[in-house]
Amino acid sequence: MRKAVYISLFIGLLISCGNEKSTAEIDKFVTEIDNRNDLTESVTEFNTEDLDGEVVGGISIYELTDENGEIYRIVAEVGQPNHSPANYEFYFKRDSLTFAKIMEFNETGTDTIVNSEYYYDGIDLIKQIDRKKEKMDAETVRQVSEFYLVYGKKTTK
């Protein structure tokens, strides 16, 4: 019986070490993307107007691409009426989500209500770190990243 417990603990340790290595590799990838000088950042902005034509919110989308149009990072800053302001960061490796950071703020923008990081291997979530009680489902994050990636591909052509 003890032998089975030790084997289970050892296998669990190996699995957790494997995930830590993967998250460390992803962290390194994110840092490398942020430090690259050969990538070009473009921005697209949309305003939300009320019925009187007054701007009450909007979305800014920043895309980091190489000379071939491959997208490495998308940052979306979202501020809409009756919604908390939010920042979404998505990092891609060959069109596959690798890392995401989601931050949503209270209505005044003075405190975060969602502050989470997501590590992916393909469509599989490796690790999720939630720094606040509120969080976004990892599958929803992946789907939102796909929306922005498809949008980004249309604008870079």
8 A C-beta contact, residue 42 and residue 63: yes
Q: Which of 30-34, 57-61, 95-99, 136-140 has the lowest mean pLDDT?
A: 57-61
- pLDDT tens figures, 96-133: 999 999 999 887 777 889 999 999 998 899 999 999 99
Task: Give me the domain span that covers residue 81.
Answer: 2-156
Please determine, for residue 86, whether its predicted confidence score (pLDDT) is greater than 80: yes
The reported pTM is: 0.80
For residue 72, report the phi and psi dihedrals to the nearest 5 degrees: -105, -35
Q: Position of tokens 């789907």?
A: 143
| Counted domains in the chain | 1
